[in-house]
Amino acid sequence: MKRVTPAISKGIADNKETMIDALYPIMGGMISKYVTQAIKEMMETINKKIENGLSVENYKRKVKAKLSGVSETEILLEESSSSVISSLFVIHKESSLLIAEAHLEDKEIDDAHMVASMASAIKDFINDWIKNNESHNEVQILSYGNATLYIESAGSVYIVAFLDAEPDYEQRSKINTFFAKIVKEYATFFQKFNGDDSADEIVTLSMEMEDYLYAHQPIAKEEKKNPAKYIFFFMAFLLFGYGVFVFNAWYVKNGLENTVYSQTGEHISISSEDDYLVLNGQVSSTDTVFEIEKIMKRHSKKMIKNHLLVPMTYIDKRLKDEQNLGTSSVNSLEKKLLFLERNFEKSVNGLQEKILILTEELKASKKHLRQVLEKESNIGQFKENNK
């Protein structure tokens, strides 16, 4: 190990940029993890601050967060993020020559090679100055008005993203990930670059960069703000809200009407008046009126205005029905009584006949008994006589 370690150290010292190219994609990911953790903690802190804040915008954001399921901080960051990447440069670090470029449509940069060189010169100047002032960081953001250059550096190249505002953490992370990918893919080509722009790698690299630009184009940002659209959405929202309210009222009313019908067999109509439920319609009896009221109290917390009616026709009809029922019951009872009387008479007659028969039989039995007794006395006399 002791022999190997100095060899590695010398290897790194001799090929520092090659080593950086090789390690950048890996180190970038590791650093990214730690930064992600730090950002998470920061977001939690911001969330707490937002929760304690009081303003109309805060409440709007809270509602949006509840509806979308996205945290308020993310919405806040999304709202504040408005940068669009219009161009990308890959610049050779050693010579400051532009290796590859990509632009959105109509966003081409005139004299791209000079711009690349000038950006490098500014970056080199600032880096040299900062190094002299006891720091080892590199310039990452150059900004002039709305124009912002985001610079990410690897071993032998650096990437410059041209934006219309300072990139947020997510955008930086995406650019760095893309950069790590191309550094890994073209490391050998970058190290051997000598200013010749006829290499095939430049064509493929430019295409990849252009694909990246269009893939990360925020579509919504390009839409112009149209006040009529917002008014339309606002009106649609109001109509929708009213629709929901009406539907809900209808649903509740319909549900109650069905419940009353299923439990009493009565059709009534229910309407809403402020905090009251108003019951209308005709039912067949006063008992039903009270029963319906009980049902309403069980199923709704609203107060009740009971306008249910029991018409006289219903009462007359009911009385008549009850009268008919009584008459038919009396008739039926009379028939049954008559039937019983007849049966009773028949039974009495039968019994009388049976009594006569039994009386005759009794007479015959008595006669027979006397004869037996006479015979016994005759036999007794005969026995005494024989003695």
Partner 1 sequence: MIRKKILLLGDFSVGKTSLVKRYVDGAFDDKYLTTIGVKISKKLCTIEGIECEMLIWDIEGSTPSKKISLGYYRGASGAIFVSDIGRRETVNNLDEHKDIFLSENPNAVYVTAYNKADKLSEIAKENIVLDDDTFLTSAKDDSNVEELFMQLMKKMLV
Residues that bind partner 1 (CB under 8 A): 92-98, 111, 113-114, 117-118, 121, 124-125, 127-129, 194-198
| C-beta of 106 vs 196, nearer to partner 1 | 196
Q: Min. distance of Cβ 62 from partner 1 in angstroms? A: 50
Distances (CA, A) of 186 to 24, 33, 160, 201, 202: 13, 24, 17, 8, 10
Residue 302: closest CA among 266, 260, 256, 264: 256
In the sheet where 269-273 sits, what is the strand order?
269-273, 276-282, 303-309
Q: Min. distance of Cβ 198 from partner 1 in angstroms? A: 7
| C-beta of 197 vs 322, nearer to partner 1 | 197
Q: Min. distance of Cβ 100 from partner 1 in angstroms? A: 12
Q: Do 46 and 73 contact (CB within 8 A), yes or no?
A: yes
Token pair of 282 as six digits: 């005709």
Per the DSSP assignment, residues forming a β-bridge with 276 are 273, 303
| C-beta of 178 vs 189, nearer to partner 1 | 189
Half-sphere exposure of 154 (CA within 13 A, CB side): 33
Q: Are strands 98-103 and 141-144 parallel, antiparallel or unpaired?
A: unpaired
Q: Min. distance of Cβ 41 from partner 1 in angstroms? A: 36
Q: Min. distance of Cβ 161 from partner 1 in angstroms? A: 21
Residue pointed to by tokens 């690897």: 154
In the sheet where 85-92 sits, what is the strand order?
98-103, 85-92, 157-163, 147-153, 141-144
Task: Give the DSSP letter of residue 352.
Answer: H
| C-beta of 126 vs 246, nearer to partner 1 | 126
> Which phi and psi (to 5°) does residue 150 adopt?
-100, 125
In sign, the C-alpha dihedral spanning 50, 53, 59, 63 is positive
Cα distance between residue 188 and residue 201, in whole Å: 11
Q: Min. distance of Cβ 97 from partner 1 in angstroms? A: 5
| C-beta of 126 vs 147, nearer to partner 1 | 126
In sign, the C-alpha dihedral spanning 333, 335, 336, 337 is positive
| C-beta of 62 vs 113, nearer to partner 1 | 113
Residue pointed to by tokens 């009385």: 319
Q: Min. distance of Cβ 109 from partner 1 in angstroms? A: 14
| C-beta of 34 vs 144, nearer to partner 1 | 144
| C-beta of 133 vs 194, nearer to partner 1 | 194
What DSSP line would sit under 94-130, residue for residue? Answer: TT--EEEEEE-TT-PPTTHHHHHHHHHHHHHHHHHHH
Q: Min. distance of Cβ 113 from partner 1 in angstroms? A: 6
| C-beta of 17 vs 164, nearer to partner 1 | 17
Cα distance between residue 158 and residue 177, in whole Å: 13
Q: Do 190 and 157 contact (CB within 8 A), yes or no?
A: yes
Q: Min. distance of Cβ 13 from partner 1 in angstroms? A: 17
Residue 107: closest CA among 89, 125, 127, 133: 89
Q: Do 163 and 85 contact (CB within 8 A), yes or no?
A: yes
| C-beta of 95 vs 359, nearer to partner 1 | 95
Q: Min. distance of Cβ 115 from partner 1 in angstroms? A: 9
